[in-house]
Amino acid sequence: MKERSNWLAKILPPPSDNIVSGADLDRGYKNFSRGLFGILIVLVLVPLAIISLLSHHQYKHLLQQRELDQLFLNLEQAQSTIEKFVAELESVIKFVARDDRYHELLEPKELQALFVRLQSEYPGFVDIEVVDSHGMQKSYFGPYQLEGHNYTDQTWYKEVMLRGVYISNVFSGFRHVPHFVIAVSRKHPQQNASWVLRVTIDGQTLQNYVDTISTTYADDIFLVDQSFTVQTRPQKYGKISEKCILFDMGDTIEKNFKKRTVERFMMVQKASDMIIVQKSFNGQQILQGVSELVNTPWKLVMVKEQYLYADAWFSFKIRLTTIFLSCAIVAIFVILEIGKAITNHLRESDKKREQFLVEAEQPNKLASIGRLAAGVAHEINNPLAIINQKTGLVQDFMEMSDDFAYKAAMREALDGIQNSVERCKKITHRLLGFARQTDVKNEEVDINVIVREVVDFLAKEASYNQIKIDFDLDPDISKIYSDRGQLLQIFLNVTNNAIDAIGSNGTITLSSRQIDPKTIQVSITDNGPGMSAEVQQHIFDPFFTTKETGKGTGLGLSITYGIVKKFGGKINVRSEVNKGTTFDITLPVANN
């Protein structure tokens, strides 16, 4: 707990600690306000930023995943479509090459009739030929003069004899146009030897087919052979019969993947016969799906440039940024206001506490100083009485004597002593008055009458000093229950101070008003020189005076303060240097 409050105190220094001056206090509140702002901002903005980043990441991931799923699905569909198409071609050829049709097909007419029928269904068929079990071409129908070929040593022939079916890559060959070949081998039922039916199909047929399945989703779709030579025309990623530019860095995707995975590739999805990688191609992020076409020599390549959802992604980013920024702005504004409110509240309560302490201290100060004053006054009063009498006696003797040298000077000196005694007497009487605790009388008093009496009493002094006294009295003010003599003393002290403060030429205004049914207020305003804040702080302290030595005891306002407090009232001062001073004396109507 202690440790926690220590670190908190470092960030949030309590403003009223270690205060030396008003400037320190101001700095303290500023530091506190700043610390509070910092903590609240961190508390609000950090979670907001984390949530925003998470949303950003999550949404991006979601979009990518969707894109990927879509590509995977399209690839799968395209794969199955092309496989079906090739299988269909293969089965048509298998169907026409029935085992026992060998001799029939050796007849050029029969072969031609078959070819014409096939071509009416499949216009892409270019030519058809029958090869015997030794690799010798026995019959041919087509636009080229290819009769009598010996295929014994050719790979395709070995393969078809071995596997029963052969599908070639797309190539130009003697025909000089791209084409591919489907060959099937059949066993002759009587001769126990195999023969082969070989059909050449225009490469365009494959192209047309791939073109029909080009989706709006993919940016490019084409076939490559096992060594990545392009088989159908890509729109963007390579040229037909050339090595595909997407695969120029290695032989197989697997190999590429293993070699380059770190900086170039990221395999994002993989099925048994399908692989999708994400990579950068010419500065463009692409998704590249490759699928093996079963029972064909080809692979299907589908390329998708990221991002399909670029619009959605852009508007999401805009929205996220807008939300984040507006939340941040609102948070900063609200936090600033809260910080200000809390700091002001703190400042106010500190001020109140200080005021309370000062007020609580005042009566104690008065009481202890009062006791001290009474003791001193009493002790001094007795010797003073003796000096007074002894001087009087000397004066008596002197008056009774005849003239003697220095009689006049001596008389003057004795008068001086008597005057000083008189001054001392006034001081001790006032000190004793300050200390005395008399009972408060409780009588009905008209405050306006009291105020006028006070002014009557001081009118002469005021007029000597060209001071004008104005009244602004509320004629309907409630009568109050209080001690008339002490009320007179209150207003006399304050008004007397106002006269002293003005010196000469000025105005004093005495006003009275009802604050509420239970409270009245008398204000005494002068247009004298006013008081600094420093002086205002001490005016109710005993023995504090700004009057020249010998003119004031510094007890007047202290006594006034004591009496007002005793009556359950309040005395406040408002003053501005060079403008004047107002004392507001608030008194309860009923004195408890």
Partner 1 sequence: MTNIKLLIIDDEVEFAATLCQRLQLRGIDATDMHSGGEGLAVLEKVAPEIVILDLKMPDMSGLDVLAEIKKYDPGIEVIMLTGHGSAGSGMEAMEKGAFDYIMKPVDLQELLEKINSAYEKRGKA
Residue ranges that bind partner 1, judged by CB under 8 A: 377-378, 381-382, 384-390, 392-393, 396, 400, 421, 424-425, 428-433, 436, 438
Taking a C-beta distance cutoff of 8 angstroms, is the pair 508, 582 a contact? no
* CB closer to partner 1 out of 108 and 485: 485
Least separation in angstroms between residue 462's CB and partner 1 is 27
| Three-class DSSP category at 179 | strand
Measured distance CA(161)–CA(193) in Å, rounded: 10
Using alpha carbons, list the distances in angstroms from residue 452 to 281, 418, 448. 103, 35, 6
Using alpha carbons, list the distances in angstroms from residue 350 to 37, 337, 342, 538. 20, 20, 12, 19
Q: Tokens 């078809």 — which residue?
A: 160
* CB closer to partner 1 out of 388 and 507: 388
What is the total residue count of the chain?
A: 592
Measured distance CA(91)–CA(167) in Å, rounded: 12
* CB closer to partner 1 out of 345 and 429: 429
* CB closer to partner 1 out of 377 and 445: 377
Measured distance CA(227)–CA(343) in Å, rounded: 76
Least separation in angstroms between residue 558's CB and partner 1 is 15
Least separation in angstroms between residue 385's CB and partner 1 is 4
First to last CA, the chain: 48
* CB closer to partner 1 out of 252 and 395: 395
Least separation in angstroms between residue 590's CB and partner 1 is 25
Least separation in angstroms between residue 442's CB and partner 1 is 16
Taking a C-beta distance cutoff of 8 angstroms, is the pair 445, 487 a contact? yes
Q: b vs e for 527-541, b when ≥16 Cβ sit within 10 Å of the residue's Cβ?
A: bbbbbeeeeeeebbb
* CB closer to partner 1 out of 249 and 386: 386
* 580-588: strand order across its sheet: 467-473, 506-516, 519-526, 580-588, 570-576
* CB closer to partner 1 out of 336 and 387: 387
Least separation in angstroms between residue 407's CB and partner 1 is 18
Least separation in angstroms between residue 428's CB and partner 1 is 7
* CB closer to partner 1 out of 357 and 386: 386
**Cβ neighbours of 221 (radius 10 Å):** 25
Least separation in angstroms between residue 388's CB and partner 1 is 4
Least separation in angstroms between residue 378's CB and partner 1 is 6
Amino acid identity for residue 403 in this structure = D
Least separation in angstroms between residue 387's CB and partner 1 is 8
Least separation in angstroms between residue 396's CB and partner 1 is 5
Least separation in angstroms between residue 438's CB and partner 1 is 5
State the pairing for strand pair 194-202/179-187.
antiparallel
* CB closer to partner 1 out of 160 and 431: 431
Measured distance CA(416)–CA(303) in Å, rounded: 122
Using alpha carbons, list the distances in angstroms from residue 358 to 16, 352, 540. 16, 10, 11
- 68 contacts: CB under 8 Å, gap ≥ 6: 268, 269, 276, 287
Structure tokens given for 281: 């191609």
Cα radius of gyration (the chain): 58
* CB closer to partner 1 out of 133 and 388: 388
Structure tokens given for 93: 């050829």
Q: Is 122 exposed, middle or buried (0-12, 13-18, 19+ CB in 10 A)?
A: middle
**Cβ neighbours of 155 (radius 10 Å):** 10
SS percent in the chain: helix, strand, coil, step 5:
55, 20, 25
* CB closer to partner 1 out of 233 and 411: 411
* CB closer to partner 1 out of 346 and 427: 427
| Bond preceding residue 307 cis, omega within 30 of 0 | yes
* CB closer to partner 1 out of 261 and 442: 442
Least separation in angstroms between residue 371's CB and partner 1 is 14
